[in-house]
Structure 1
Amino acid sequence: MSTEPPHGADMPAENVPSTEVEEPDELAVRLCRALVCAAVDPALSGVLLFDLEPQLLDPVARLFARILTGDPHSPGPPVMLSAASRDEDLWTRPVLQREDGGISFRMEPGPLIETDGRSGPPSLVVVPDLTRLSVAGMRAAVQLLGADVTVVEYGGLSHRARPRARWLAACRSADAGRPTGHLLDRFALRLPTCGLRLPTADHLLGMLPPSWLDIARDAQEALVPTAAVSDEALDRVHELLGPESNMRRELSLARLARALATLDGEGTATSEHCAAAARLMGLAVAEGAGRAEPTGGASGSASRSPHPSNRPSEGMGERRHTGQDIPGAAETGQPLLETEPAEGVGAGRGGVQTVLATPYPEDEAEALRDFAPLRSPWQRTAGSASLRGVVIGTRRATDLSDIAHVRTVREAAVHQRIRRTEQFTVSPVDLHSHVRASSPEHMLVLLLDHTCRGGDWDWQDTLTPFLEWAYTRRAAVHIIEVGSAETGNELRAESFAARSVLDPRILPALYRPVGRASPLADGVEQAVQALRRSFRQHGNSLTEAWLVVVTDGRGNVPLRASRTGRLRSPVGTEGVEDTLKAAAGVSAMDRTRLRVAVIDAGREPYGSLPFSLAEALGGVVLEGPSARVRTRGGGGAGER
């Protein structure tokens, strides 16, 4: 867990807060008002901003901290939560103390609860990406946000108090379907912030009534008496959100209306305050009675059903199309790859990011949620968990294991002139250790040969047992595709790695149109390289891996053609022979952790080729279109 926010000096010039004195846009004023409401009412302690530019997260956090502290100077660093946050970093903090018999240590409240039960500004917790928050961080948010009291019994610490920390989180609206609903509902204040232009904090705070900042500052010293909520206001809240809304959303809107009434000096929140609260969150309120609607439609995406379908919609996951899509478009002797114009890079087609302009985008987002997201996956106990995984950052060291030498030397170099030593000196305060992402313990490598899939076979049903195994094990996924008509180069296989089966690229990969060439040998070679790389990087932490090959075995592109990009005819059986040679690399791996299955497409002639490939891989053969697949205890499928 890092407590150092990104530096504003590193931001591009077009994304830094404007220093010119100009009228703030309506979105910036609404954001400032929402932050003040969150500072006044502890029940509104969670603020979730959708589609916020990453460069604006630090200025917004500083604005929030200034509202909480009332100090125009730079406040202390916020608590930054990420994928590396752990329970021991959030709830407790060991403190050394001197005693008569020597030195001992005691446990004190950690950064999330250190300001509970005290006067003064509360802690500010910043989550740059809610979808990548660790399990420990998600559990902490569910426990603390909006709670009247929190009880912590952890590692020698007994703590009971009302949470005072304020949370500021960011998330892409297109990914809002990935976090669990329990986590999203804890954030009472939600604002779509796409296109936000943030002026200077002084100019923005000057747009507020002076009494608002005084009330926000007084609320940090003692609870401010809040306004009552009338029955008329509760009826208006239910009318604004509609009958399908859940109770937490109605409570959040009612509490926001109560905070606005308190800031205005009113004793009771009315229906007008409810309408103002709905507008503050980005809901368009019609004059008179009526339900609130989002202020804008989905940018870059058509209207969609709240529940995703099993098959990808038309155009989903499209890639470059060439003349290869039409059979017979290229004659013998003509090149298979044609030059095409460049395409944009982004989440949607043409590089346009999908934006859902609503405070509740999870109702429309197509992303799937993790299995049991608030439960930590099973971890092996052999070895230290901190020594496994990819390095994603550094932090101050608590022991001498996994020291980050470059960061340690850099920290020591800063203080050499102050220490006035003859030699280069490294002090214990200079020591930093690596922060590592959790290492996957399961992996699924899926090799798809699109040329073997006919119009009468939906191979998703055959692959379901393996996809379910990867979903419940939270396995890393590596997809390799051959024989697709959408590929940029028909002579080579294409692949991508995903953190889980919930990656939106996986479903479109199952339904690519059938192409002409099948570089199966190159696909098998890439699968071998992916497995070797995973076993080498993750070591013993990778306990189980599946290689699933869906093919008819009729590879018609030799490995030499895939490497050079030149196809020489006649090919003959060279493509099949190269495939079997490449498969020999899999059979030589650690078979106690690697399992291999070949799904036979049942195509004639040459129906024995999948069996030859399975023998070279050292795996089993599963019938594709007509077999009944059954799941074994290891998560695989039954063999023929």
Structure 2
Amino acid sequence: MTTWETAGQRIETALACAAFDPRLRGVLCYDLDPALLPSLAAWLADLTAGRGTPYELVVAGAGTTEDDLWTRVRPVPGLLAGREPGPLADLPDRVPAVVIVPDLAEISFAAARAAVTVLGSETAYLERDGVHAVWSPKVPWIAACARQDMGKVSTHLLDRFALRVDARGVEAPPSAGPAPWLRAAARPTALPRFTPEAVERVVERTGRAPGARRDLALARLARALAAMRTASQVTASDVDEAAELIGLPTPKPDDDEHATTVPDGRLARRRPTGDGRRRDESAQAGAVEQAVVEVPAARPLTAAAALLTMAATPYPEDLPGLDSEPSSLRTSWVRRSAATSQRGVPVGHVRAHDLSDLALVATLLEAGRFQLVRCPGHFDGPPHPPHLQPSDLRRYRRAEVPGRLFTLLLDHTCRKDWDWYPALAPYLHWCYTERAAVCVIEVGAEGHELTARRVTGRNLLDPRVVAALDRRPGRSTPLAHGLVLAVDALRRYLQRDRAAVDEALFIVVTDGRANVPIHNSLTGETPQAVAREGVDDALAVAREIRMMRKVESFIMHPRPYAGEGLVLELADALGAAVVPGRDHVEGTGAVTGDG
């Protein structure tokens, strides 16, 4: 029986567990509004330090530097300035601190390295700028991150956040401070002991997780929940409750970790004999019993299938096809033009090595810290220019701008029983590997009979893109309006000054049967007699796309042959190649497979 009924209660329970065990103080909230982080930090500080106790709120964002976290300047009698440990140093005579990360995917390199260093560590050492300190890290970190951006975060950094909670639905901060029973539970007098069943359940629920951090995190979370109930033992039900809190799925009775695929497309599960101990597969091959089980054929698009299950696990980095960036703590490896580095919106600043894209305010603020050291009478005499050195120069750290655009127009009315995932797989794979921006235009979706709808995302990991691929079809096809939205999207991405993309791929999935004129889409009037008016409007808009540079277009036909006149007319107007959506067996008139 769980102790929470809403998303807000789930967050409060997770923060209470973090207050109970310092090794659970790396809290990652999926899909949380960053504006709620200060309120959650205040709630946690009230629980850990006591009501009314002052605390320091530290924001680890895109512009956080080493000086902001490890050391800071303080006045010293008889000297101009001195150095002391920064807010991460949890020393006895210091005000407690709480670190919040508004967007873990955009955290600076310095803040990411600091989190990897202190979270989960027993002891931290500081030797910097002549400052020496040793302490046991207990500063809590509360981070927010959208699930669609998990591929941008280093797995080393994710591994340090032991407590992960789904924060979807949390719209307001806690209305009051922690309840009295939570305050008492956060300061236990004795720790509950684990029963053998609880230990076995921890191993069972985590499965073959990499390393031991997840096992320990689940065990510590279960112990915290048991302590809140003032229990003397941690039982298997406590472990199940902890797994439910972080969203860990229940393991299936028939685990497929020893599964193999046989040539006929069925699944062969290997069941060990004897004592069931794991042995080398080569030595075990002759001592296993193979049971062939019929299973539905899996879609070849592994990434799309994984996106649908992203919200069902607290560890989305484990999903196949959704690995994190190879160098998430460094700049992206994706191929781009030379001018792309100065395109994105500024999200912080870093030390500059040349004079390009200088952040003037950040440079002056950095130089201002050392004016008295470089010129002791700087502020006493007549005004004169500041004393700058090359080490003061700062440049903007800009958000990454995709160098590619993937525009997909989906005509849901032409799908029927056609599984278009295999046909779209090569193009979606290109979009994912190129880290291209995504624009999906839906035509003929249920509930949108007269107009098309457009969904844009930073990359293919946006859940709205996956939802668009499985929309139910409607009863009409406003293809002309969909092409108008495509023209608008292509122009915005291709002509947005410094942030323009270098290449755009435009895929149109349709049978060409446009039966809603553009006039009716714009006015909302239901068409009476259409004839070819909708088709002519679509052809006129398609000719505009043909004149655009850097756009490569393809039309995917749902039939196994490219003989439809409307599709050929649209392809000629668009300047696109026609790609059959299904394979045709010549001489039999049959279509092979679902896609």
TM-score range (shorter-chain normalised) is: 0.5 to 0.7
Indicate whether 1:77 and 2:57 are aligned.
yes
- What's the secondary structure of 2:56's corresponding residue? coil
| Paired letter, 1:558 | P
Q: 1:304 Cα shift?
A: 11
- Contact 2:351/2:395 (8 A) holds in 1: yes
Cα distance between partner residues in 2 of 1:176 and 1:280? 35
The structure 1 residue matched to 2:414, chosen from 452, 464, 488, is: 452
Q: How does 1:312-391 map to 2 (within 5 A)?
A: 361-362=314-315, 369=322, 371-372=324-325, 375=328, 376-378=331-333, 380=336, 382-383=338-339, 385=341, 388-390=343-345
> Which residue of structure 2 lines up, in the alignment, with residue 480 of structure 1?
441
Q: 1:309 Cα shift?
A: 11
- What's the secondary structure of 1:292's corresponding residue? helix
Residues 144-192 of structure 1: CA distance to partner in whole angstroms, max 9, x if unpaired?
42246789999x9999977847343255898898777654442234567
Cα distance between partner residues in 1 of 2:582 and 2:10? 57
Distance 1:138 1:499, change over 3 A: farther
- Contact 2:47/2:178 (8 A) holds in 1: no
> Which residue of structure 2 lines up, in the alignment, with residue 266 of structure 1?
none
- Contact 2:25/2:162 (8 A) holds in 1: yes
Indicate whether 1:543 and 2:502 are aligned.
yes
Distance 1:497 1:468, change over 3 A: same
Distance 1:604 1:507, change over 3 A: same
Q: 1:604 Cα shift?
A: 8.1
> Which residue of structure 1 lines up, in the alignment, with residue 160 of structure 2?
186
CA RMSD of aligned residues (A): 5.9
Distance 1:545 1:27, change over 3 A: closer
| Paired letter, 2:440 | I
> Which residue of structure 2 lines up, in the alignment, with residue 208 of structure 1?
184
Q: 1:137 Cα shift?
A: 5.7
- Contact 2:516/2:527 (8 A) holds in 1: no
- What's the secondary structure of 2:38's corresponding residue? helix
Indicate whether 1:620 and 2:543 are aligned.
no
Identity %: 32
- What's the secondary structure of 2:568's corresponding residue? helix
- What's the secondary structure of 1:187's corresponding residue? coil
Q: 1:467 Cα shift?
A: 0.8
Q: 1:527 Cα shift?
A: 0.4
Q: 1:34 Cα shift?
A: 3.2
Cα distance between partner residues in 1 of 2:298 and 2:228? 32
Cα distance between partner residues in 2 of 1:448 and 1:584? 19
Q: 1:619 Cα shift?
A: 3.0
| Paired letter, 2:439 | H
Q: 1:293 Cα shift?
A: 1.6
- Contact 1:92/1:157 (8 A) holds in 2: no
Cα distance between partner residues in 1 of 2:436 and 2:93? 45
Cα distance between partner residues in 2 of 1:309 and 1:235? 40
Distance 1:73 1:542, change over 3 A: same
> Which residue of structure 2 lines up, in the alignment, with residue 168 of structure 1?
141
Q: 1:377 Cα shift?
A: 2.4
- What's the secondary structure of 2:513's corresponding residue? coil
Indicate whether 1:251 and 2:226 are aligned.
no
Q: How does 1:390-469 map to 2 (within 5 A)?
A: 390=345, 437-455=399-417, 457-469=418-430
Indicate whether 1:61 and 2:41 are aligned.
yes
- Contact 1:91/1:109 (8 A) holds in 2: no
Q: 1:471 Cα shift?
A: 1.5
| Paired letter, 2:424 | L
Q: 1:584 Cα shift?
A: 2.0
- What's the secondary structure of 1:496's corresponding residue? strand
Q: 1:479 Cα shift?
A: 0.7
Q: 1:528 Cα shift?
A: 0.7
- Contact 1:284/1:295 (8 A) holds in 2: no
Cα distance between partner residues in 1 of 2:184 and 2:407? 56
Cα distance between partner residues in 1 of 2:45 and 2:581? 59
Distance 1:33 1:622, change over 3 A: closer
The structure 2 residue matched to 1:570, chosen from 529, 533, 538, is: 529
- Contact 1:555/1:575 (8 A) holds in 2: yes
- What's the secondary structure of 2:496's corresponding residue? helix
> Which residue of structure 1 lines up, in the alignment, with residue 544 of structure 2?
585
Distance 1:201 1:467, change over 3 A: same
Residues 504-543 of structure 1: CA distance to partner in whole angstroms, max 9, x if unpaired?
2223322333333221111111101001112233635522
| Paired letter, 1:47 | V
- What's the secondary structure of 2:204's corresponding residue? coil
| Paired letter, 1:602 | R
Q: 1:448 Cα shift?
A: 0.8
**Superposition TM-score, scaled by structure 2 size:** 0.61
> Which residue of structure 2 lines up, in the alignment, with residue 335 of structure 1?
none
Indicate whether 1:35 and 2:8 are aligned.
no
- Contact 2:73/2:84 (8 A) holds in 1: no
- Contact 2:166/2:246 (8 A) holds in 1: no
- Contact 1:546/1:596 (8 A) holds in 2: yes
The structure 2 residue matched to 1:495, chosen from 454, 458, 471, is: 454
Residues 256-296 of structure 1: CA distance to partner in whole angstroms, max 9, x if unpaired?
7xxxxxxxxxxxxxxxxxx6424369999998666732279
> Which residue of structure 2 lines up, in the alignment, with residue 124 of structure 1?
98
Question: Runs of 5+ in structure 2 lacking a partner?
Answer: 1-5, 257-295, 300-307, 366-385, 388-393, 586-595
Cα distance between partner residues in 1 of 2:55 and 2:234? 42
Distance 1:32 1:120, change over 3 A: same
- Contact 1:370/1:502 (8 A) holds in 2: no
- What's the secondary structure of 1:445's corresponding residue? strand
Cα distance between partner residues in 1 of 2:13 and 2:416? 57
**Superposition TM-score, scaled by structure 1 size:** 0.58
Cα distance between partner residues in 1 of 2:164 and 2:231? 14
Indicate whether 1:146 and 2:126 are aligned.
no
- What's the secondary structure of 1:579's corresponding residue? helix
Q: 1:61 Cα shift?
A: 1.1
Q: Greater shift after overlay, 533-542 or 368-377?
A: 368-377
- Contact 1:389/1:439 (8 A) holds in 2: yes
Distance 1:383 1:537, change over 3 A: same
The structure 2 residue matched to 1:504, chosen from 453, 457, 463, is: 463
- Contact 2:510/2:555 (8 A) holds in 1: yes
Cα distance between partner residues in 1 of 2:103 and 2:298? 27
Q: Greater shift after overlay, 48-57 or 472-481?
A: 48-57
Cα distance between partner residues in 2 of 1:96 and 1:29? 38
